[in-house]
């Protein structure tokens, strides 16, 4: 073995050790979201190793429609997310990875203006909406490497309604294209 090969191997081990230590510190400090509590989607790959760190802004883009999850319509005081009618327009389609596997909506936070954080939320009747963050499992989501976004409380996947309005809701994880989402960093 040449001296160059030995130095390169030693350098690779050092880099891996450093990355392992940095990752451990980041996990301990809560800089990365943990997805260990969410059960996997049946037939899906394991949870994506590239978990989005808290504080990162992204768009949630539906793979079938190539449109973004948005909060555009207000119903009875709740900002009900809907699928944007054009390809990922403006501020209403930007989400923020919150702590504890929450997905926050900064535009709603600015619109309300009282310092309250607003999170993507769901309930037992398959509705999806934006509410003040409370840390509950209905506001925790895990994105799997195949693109499914699963709610911790309902154990159902984010989906879009096929009607004209394209409302978001949760339903049994069926592995179809309307349930596959990409996170596009902003």
Q: Render pLDDT for 120-173 as a digit per residue (tens, 0 to 9).
A: 999 989 989 888 999 999 999 999 999 999 999 999 999 987 765 678 899 999
pLDDT of residue 4: 38
Residue with token string 């954080």: 117
In this prediction the pTM is 0.70
What is the torsional sign of CA 178, 64, 152, 163?
negative
pLDDT of residue 81: 72
pLDDT of residue 112: 81
pLDDT of residue 165: 67
Residue from 182, 173, 14, 19 nearest 93 by CA: 182
The pLDDT tens digits of the residues spanning 29-60 come to 333 333 334 444 444 433 443 478 899 999 99
At 86, the pLDDT band (50, 70, 90 cuts) reads low
């Amino acid at each position: 073995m040449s001296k160059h090969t030995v130095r390169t191997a030693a350098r690779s081990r050092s880099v891996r050790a450093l990355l392992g230590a940095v990752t451990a510190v980041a996990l301990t400090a809560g800089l990365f979201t943990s997805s260990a509590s969410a059960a996997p989607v049946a037939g899906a790959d394991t949870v994506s190793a590239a978990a989005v760190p808290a504080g990162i802004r992204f768009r949630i883009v539906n793979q079938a429609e190539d449109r973004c999850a948005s909060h555009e319509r207000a119903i009875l005081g709740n900002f009900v997310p809907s699928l944007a009618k054009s390809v990922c327009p403006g501020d209403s389609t930007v989400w923020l990875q919150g702590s504890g596997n929450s997905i926050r909506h900064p535009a709603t936070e600015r619109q309300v203006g009282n310092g309250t954080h607003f999170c993507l939320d769901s309930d037992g009747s398959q509705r999806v909406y934006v509410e003040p963050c409370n840390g509950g499992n209905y506001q925790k989501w895990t994105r799997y490497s195949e693109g499914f976004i699963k709610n911790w409380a309902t154990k159902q996947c984010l989906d879009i309604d096929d009607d004209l309005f394209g409302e978001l809701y949760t339903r049994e994880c069926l592995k179809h294209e309307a349930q596959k989402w990409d996170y596009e960093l902003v």
